[in-house]
A and B are shown apart, each in its own frame.
Chain A
Amino acid sequence: MTRIVALWLPLFATDRLTRPGKALADWRDQPLATFGRDGGALRVVAANAPARGAGVVPGLPAADATALCPGLKGVAAEPEAEVAALAALAEWCQRWSPWTAPAVTGLEGDHGVWIEVAGSAHLFGGERALLDDMAARLGGLGFTLRAGLADTPGAAWALARFGAERTGLLPEGAARQLLGAFPVAALRLPPAMVETLRRLGLRRIADLLGLPRAPLAARFGPLVAQRLDQLLGRRPEPLSPRPPAEKPLARLAFAEPIGRDADVAAATLALLADLAGQMERRGLGARRLTLKVFRVDGTVLGQSVGTSRPVRDPAHLARLFAEGRAGLDAGFGIEAMTLAADSADPLVGEQGDIETRPRGTTLPLLLDRLTRRLGEGAVFRPRPLASHWPERRSGRAPPLAPAPAAGWPPAGRPPRLSPPRPVVVSESDGVPSGRAEGPERLAAEWWRGKRGHRDYWRIEDESGRRFWLFRDETGDWFRHGEFP
């Protein structure tokens, strides 16, 4: 059994701006109205309570409004911001139930929230306590509201707007008796239809309930009967709660199974173009994409691609997929393919210069291609490590990481370091003969439990080659590198 709360926020557009803590909070008790262009004329879109008291109502031309109320403050109406704010409020209402949705009735300036509370009312001490809690909290936030709780969304909507109390509660199964006295406007019908019904003498819902359906439908269309059924619960009206942000997904199904590599490549490119359009509308760029291939024999193969920066460009992503396509066996044929962006980050489109090629965008793409073919971690930037021991002075950092501020202090090291190789050196008492420079003693890192030391020498032989040798604590000589 569903129990739905309908919240009605009649002054949402202005309450949003004049709530405590918002920019226009001082205007809460002063006349304030939002203006918007309707056709060519500037008209009032919404007005707060003091403005309505002075006679400013939605639909009034702006000049008339300022004439009626000289101290009126006007701000521009922002429909998208209102929609976003209502969605955010619906999400905030999830404190009472996970099943909330902003109310989109299609009627002008009608802001509300649906909340399904059948499973959560007992947690707040019952339905009456729940309604009081909602009124108290939303009122504390600065919203003017009315609420209704009933079996169906239609009944709750009617109760919120036309009920006697500010927070009305309809017991289960009581919709027919108690709502019969409500006016026809409580059925969520267009104003023109409501006016026509009134002129025909059908002013209350009870009047409509007794009428035969066929003439009603012939005169007014199916909407009246639909709304009546929804009110009484005969026709289901499911709520769609706010869906979590879906991953961008593109699908392609083939009339006949494909198998040739060129066809798979073309299909991948088409999927990427579709996905790029979806991501551009949401301002996203892909970081990780998964291509799934559905074969005729019922098996599914997958291929994943990752990028270092958010990317939308189909051509670049197609090249990344091309690298690994050799391993994708079409079998007896591929009947469908899907492409999903598992991970996406915000990406704002950039306007490129007409003449010159955009700089700074090709290095990340090159790194993507190199990483794809050579493997993760194959491309890196050297990073100085805090150690004096030669083998442990250099680490790896991701290639696009910010460059290290300082390098290594100059210490006379060769550009290539091979593992130490034993070598024979003609020496006397630890000092090599011939042209030699040193010694430089490096003690092992005792704090890591290593022992011993190395005496490093730079030695030049007859042909002019210069080596970096060391003699360890046991007296053995090793060659560690060569200098240019």
Chain B
Amino acid sequence: MASPAPLPLAALRARLRALERPHASAVPALPLFAEIDAALPGGGLALGCLHQLIGADAAATGLAALIAGRLAARLERPALWLPAAKDLYPPGLAEWGLPPRRLLIAETAGQADRLWAMEEALRCPDLACVVGELAGLDLIAGRRLQLAAEAGGVTGLALHPQRSTAANAGTTRWRVAARPGGLWRLTLERCRGGMPGDWEVRP
């Protein structure tokens, strides 16, 4: 009996990806910035999983708004934001790509409620993206969020403050800081299937 011809590498990769994440959406990854996309597997930010953004307030907020806005526009579904305090300013978010017709905000009393709401929302395929402001994230909670994101096919962004001790739970882990001249310094600290790196980009 003749052995079957060996499959090319790309086809094998596609089969593995389909087996690992059966509910992943059919659209390819979201391109972010030209310089960074080359280093990310899939050519952009992976969808349908959890990503962690650590940084000082404003820069991380801006990056989250940018990602959520692009996802909402591309998938034509709303994004849900779970703020820690009542300080979100929708007119400013609109300038970073999240118009009011694609944004839902849910105010929570504490971290426990926010974690619960984020997990519930990640299981709802009618959302494009869920942004949750979490002070810290332990391994178990992070794993639950990751599984919920994969089950619902919704991209999750966990925003952590600068000095948080969040465990490594997401597919990618970023650190954002503002640089003079209107630039951002993006550090990819951990990436599943890719190499860490450091870039300065103009948003």
Q: Do the beta carbons of B99 and A363 come within 8 Å of each other?
A: no
Decide: A465 near B58, CB < 8 A? Known: A366-B126, A381-B103.
yes
Give chain A residues whose Cβ lies under 8 Å from the Cβ of B95. 410-413, 415
Q: Pick the contact of B178 from A408, A415, A463 — CB < 8 Å?
A: A463
Q: Which of B62, B100, B113, B179 contacts A382 (CB 8 A)?
A: B100
Contact partners of A363 in chain B: CB under 8 A: 78, 124, 126-127
Among B38-46, B86-94, B167-175, the one that faces the other chain is B86-94
Q: Contact at B100–A403, with CB atoms within 8 Å?
A: yes
A85: min CB distance to chain B, Å: 43
From A373, A399, A403, A483, contact of B113 by CB (8 A): A373
**B65 on the interface (CB 8 Å rule)?**
yes
Provide the residues of chain A in CB contact with B12, threshold 8 Å.
none
Which bucket holds chain A's interface residue count? 35 or more
Residue A350 interfacial (CB < 8 Å): no
- CA distance in complex: A302, B20 (Å): 46
Say whether A464 faces chain B, with CB atoms less than 8 Å apart: yes
Q: Is the CB of A407 within 8 A of B100?
A: yes
B58 touches A407 (CB 8 A): no
Alpha-carbon separation in the docked complex, A360 to B124 (Å): 10
Contact of A466 with B182 in the complex, beta carbons under 8 Å: yes
Distance in angstroms between the alpha carbons of A362 and B151 in the assembled complex = 14
**Set of chain A residues within 8 Å of B65, measured between Cβ atoms:** 415, 484
Q: A40: CB under 8 A from chain B?
A: no
The one of A359, A360, A410, A416 in contact with B61, judged by C-beta atoms closer than 8 angstroms, is A416
Residues of A within 8 A of B92 (CB): 413-417, 481
Q: How far is the CB of B107 from chain A (nearest CB, A)?
A: 5
Known: A382-B105, A403-B101, A484-B61. A393 touches B126 (CB 8 A): no
Whether A464 and B179, one on each chain, are in contact in the complex, defined by CB atoms closer than 8 angstroms, is yes
Task: Name the distance in Å between A460's Cβ and chain B's nearest Cβ.
Answer: 7
Whether A411 lies near B105 (C-beta < 8 A) is no
Instruction: Find chain B residues with CB under 8 A from A463 CB.
Output: 178, 180
Flag if B100 contacts A370 (CB, 8 Å). Answer: no
Contacts of B183 in A (CB 8 A): 464
Please measure, in the bound complex, the distance between the C-alpha atom of A415 and the C-alpha atom of B94, giving whole angstroms.
Answer: 8
Which residue in A359, A383, A407 is a CB contact (below 8 Å) of B126?
Answer: A359
CB distance from A461 to the nearest CB of B (A): 9
Complex interface: chain A residues within 8 A of B103 (CB)? 381-382
User: Measured between alpha carbons, how far is A370 from B90 in the docked complex, in Å?
Assistant: 21
Complex formed: what's the CA distance from A466 to B183 in Å?
Answer: 11
| A416–B57 touching, CB < 8 Å | yes
Return chain B residues, CB-CB under 8 Å to A394. 89-91
B106: CB under 8 A from chain A? yes
B126:A379 contact, CB within 8 angstroms: no
Known contacts: A359-B125, A360-B126, A379-B105. The answer to whether A416 contacts B113 by CB under 8 A is no
The docked-state distance in angstroms from the alpha carbon of A463 to that of B184 is 11
Residue of A nearest to B125 (CB): A362
- How far apart are the CA atoms of A382 and B107 in the complex, in Å? 12
Do A373 and B116 touch (CB < 8 A)? yes
Chain B residue contacts of A417, Cβ below 8 A: 87-89, 92
Q: Is B9 an interface residue (CB 8 A)?
A: no
8 A Cβ contacts from B44-84 to A: 56-63, 65, 78
B108 CB contacts on chain A under 8 angstroms: 374, 378
Question: A413 and B89: CB pair below 8 A?
Answer: yes
The interface residues of chain B lying within 8 Å CB-to-CB of A412 are 95
| A274 interface hit (Cβ, 8 Å) | no
Taking a contact as CB atoms under 8 Å apart, the answer to whether B91 and A366 are in contact is no
User: CB-nearest residue of chain B relative to A405?
Assistant: B101
- Tell me if A418 is interfacial: C-beta within 8 Å of chain B: yes
A415 to chain B, nearest CB (A): 4
Given A370-B117, A381-B104, 19 additional A-B pairs, CB 8 A: A365-B124, A366-B126, A379-B106, A390-B89, A394-B89, A407-B91, A408-B100, A410-B95, A414-B58, A416-B57, A417-B92, A418-B87, A462-B180, A464-B177, A464-B180, A466-B58, A484-B58, A484-B63, A484-B96
Complex A-B: 5 CB contacts under 8 Å: A362-B126, A370-B106, A403-B101, A404-B101, A413-B91
Which B residues have a C-beta under 8 Å from some C-beta of A? 56-63, 65, 78, 87-96, 99-109, 113, 116-117, 120-121, 123-127, 177-184, 203
Closest 9 A-B residue pairs measured CB to CB? A484-B62, A403-B101, A382-B90, A363-B126, A482-B58, A417-B89, A415-B92, A464-B180, A413-B92
